[in-house]
Structure 1
């Protein structure tokens, strides 16, 4: 039976491995035929900024994999409107399609989930 699972990332893309772990979780849940959504809040929205390259820091460049999420049926990608404003980003600045959600819309999204994983 499919469940609605929301992965939430809060940390900056180069602050530990939380974004990478979020990516791994989203792909694992999708492989198990779950309805996966992924929400980027706070500095985590910077992970979706076009042009990111972790290899310059000696890290595996997982940013390219973000573009393949659709192939794995992870199509419900969301970003926090306040964080987008805080970092002066628009939807055009992102390397993948993501829906911008207000805080109220995020609360609605949370209520629709069976499970939430917060990183």
Structure 2
């Protein structure tokens, strides 16, 4: 089993990067890889529980993020500075996450066998 980290750093509605990241995370989890996901920058907005993408004419794929737990993806990390920048609290997020600072992110990345950045 390999440690694979998906890193998202784009807005959830920017060219569907978040949807692609979700698909990749679920695929790796389905083949029994140890998957973690790190949200940086505007990607943290994908985790807001009050998202309504249908109002923008986009299918609501964000509710699928709640399926991560079913696939045993319980290592979801959020960049502290991104939460601060967008003034988000843990209570406003749709799933349980671990908040990490810059040094903790470096350490997590160093522990991975493969990194997928979207």
- Provide TM-score, normalisation by structure 2: 0.97
Q: Give the equivalent residue in structure 2 for 1:90.
A: 89
Unaligned runs of 5+ in 1: none
Runs of 4 or more off by more than 2 Å in structure 1? none
TM, length-normalised to structure 1: 0.97
- Matched residue, 2:68: 69
Deviations 1:35-59 (A, max 9, x none): 0000000000000011112121111
SS for the counterpart of 1:38 is strand
Superposition deviation, residue 14 in structure 1: 1.1
Offset of residue 93 of structure 1: 1.1
- Structure 2: gaps spanning 5 or more residues: none
- Paired residue total: 118
